[in-house]
């Protein structure tokens, strides 16, 4: 039995952070019902490099985190659509939304509205800046939060900055943080019997990802500078091998000593105190540049790892996905066939395993509104009523 079997989540989120949070809980057994407008559906359905999938509203941006969900369509601009959503929330455990601050309360779908129907409900709101404060009404996406939070200013090189990270790290971190918060609230409810309201902000998450920078700034007043692939210690940064880059991460004193012993430089191995490593950074870096250039990155990876020195060549995504380690970890899941999709689809699953009852994928990402009739029948609507709702453009 997986942890969240028997838990129902109403997922009224879109794009990335919200759907990813619900996806992680769905992997652990929750019944996730994804709610979308019949025409103004989740824009991730139209995103990704496979344009044929985009035309089918099954873009890779959506497929990535659509498994183990049921999908319904509801027009929340219509009173009947809102009434259906309230009926869903009345029997749910979790309600998640990531629309502009104040949007759902304005529709009569805020926490207090739904709490009156279901005091045990966990209601999670995900916004750019939170529900209140000077920026509360503002909206944003991952790249804007990277800029606003100061993260972009720390990324890049002294010559080329600021730079956005290559992947939407704030979105994924927000989704992960919200999945954690929802899990904690469900655990709390088991003890108290009372629901909870979760106010999550992408800006707050971005700051958590820069925690050590923040503490150092308040202590010293020093802004973190973009340093590219050069770091604070010569034994822990990127070097250019004869063919490509190799990242060496000999961070602590013991690793520093093992690194330079392996390189035949016991004199540099002895220079291992934090003060020495800082003072002799340029000298040690110059020597490392000279030594590492003499072999390929793969050779250095094998040689140093065999001597318990963290090191690895810089890989492309394609190379990383071919690593046999991924097969042993069950990080990826392949859907051999999806309705309306030609060929198999491989998606990330979870970043952890359990000894038993862990994350797993049972059902493929649903098409737009695929389970609308099924869910409404479960709420007590008749087939005739459902047909009428469809005629009125409510579903």
CATH code: domain of residue 273? 3.30.1540
259 and 129 housed in the same domain: no
pLDDT band at 91 (very low <50, low <70, confident <90, very high): very high
47 and 169 housed in the same domain: yes
Structure tokens at 79: 């009173």
Domains in the chain, number: 2
220 falls within a domain: no
Catalytic residues: 171
Determine the average pLDDT of the residues in 294-322.
97
Element (DSSP H or E) covering residue 275: helix 274-279
305 and 356 housed in the same domain: no
Q: How far apart are CA 334 and CA 327, in angstroms?
A: 12
Domain assignment of residue 258, given as a range = 236-240+245-313
- CA angle 56/46/100 to nearest 5° reads 135
Element (DSSP H or E) covering residue 21: helix 17-27
Determine the average pLDDT of the residues in 379-392.
98
230 falls within a domain: no
Q: Considering the chain, what is the average pLDDT of its residues? A: 96
Determine the average pLDDT of the residues in 70-81.
98
Q: Among 226, 228, 225, 235, which residue's Cα sits nearest to residue 289?
A: 235
Determine the average pLDDT of the residues in 172-184.
98
- CA angle 380/73/383 to nearest 5° reads 35
140 and 109 housed in the same domain: yes
Q: pLDDT value at position 358?
A: 96
Q: 4-60 pLDDT, tens per residue?
A: 999 999 999 999 999 999 999 999 999 999 999 999 999 999 999 999 999 999 999
Q: 326-363 pLDDT, tens per residue?
A: 989 989 999 999 987 889 999 999 999 999 999 999 99
Q: pLDDT value at position 350?
A: 96
């Amino acid at each position: 039995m997986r942890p969240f079997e028997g838990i129902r989540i109403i997922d009224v989120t879109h794009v990335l952070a919200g759907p990813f949070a619900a996806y992680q809980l769905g992997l652990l057994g929750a019944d996730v019902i994804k709610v979308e407008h019949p025409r103004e559906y989740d824009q991730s359905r139209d995103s990704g490099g496979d344009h044929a999938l985009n035309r089918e509203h099954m873009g890779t941006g959506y497929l990535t985190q659509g498994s183990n969900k049921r999908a319904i369509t509801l027009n929340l601009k219509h009173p009947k659509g809102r009434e259906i959503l309230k009926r869903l929330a009345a029997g749910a455990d979790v309600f998640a939304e990531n629309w502009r601050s104040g949007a759902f309360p304005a529709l009569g779908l805020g926490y207090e509205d739904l709490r009156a129907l279901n005091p045990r409900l966990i209601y999670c709101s995900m916004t750019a800046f939170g529900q209140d404060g000077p920026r509360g009404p503002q909206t944003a996406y991952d790249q804007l939060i990277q800029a606003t939070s100061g993260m972009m200013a720390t990324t890049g090189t002294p010559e080329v900055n600021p730079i956005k990270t290559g992947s939407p790290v704030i979105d994924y971190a927000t989704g992960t943080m919200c999945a954690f918060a929802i899990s904690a609230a469900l655990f709390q409810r088991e003890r108290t019997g009372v629901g909870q309201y979760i106010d999550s902000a992408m800006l707050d998450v971005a700051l958590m990802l820069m925690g050590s920078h923040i503490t150092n700034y308040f202590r010293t007043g020093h802004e973190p500078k973009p340093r590219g692939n050069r770091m604070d210690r010569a034994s822990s940064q990127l070097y250019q091998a004869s063919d490509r880059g190799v990242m060496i991460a000999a961070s602590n004193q013991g690793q520093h000593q093992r690194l330079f012993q392996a390189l035949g430089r016991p004199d540099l191995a002895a220079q291992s105190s934090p003060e020495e490593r800082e003072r002799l950074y340029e000298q040690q870096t110059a020597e490392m540049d000279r030594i590492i250039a003499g072999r390929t990155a793969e050779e250095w990876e094998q040689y140093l790892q065999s001597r318990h020195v963290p090191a690895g060549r810089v890989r492309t995504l394609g190379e990383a996905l071919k690593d046999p380690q991924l097969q042993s970890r069950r990080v990826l899941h392949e859907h051999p066939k999806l309705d309306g999709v030609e060929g198999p689809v491989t998606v990330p699953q979870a970043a952890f395993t359990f000894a038993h009852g862990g994350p797993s994928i049972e059902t493929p990402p649903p098409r737009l509104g695929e389970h609308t009739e099924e869910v409404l029948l479960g709420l007590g609507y008749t087939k005739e009523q459902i047909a009428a709702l469809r005629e009125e453009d409510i579903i």
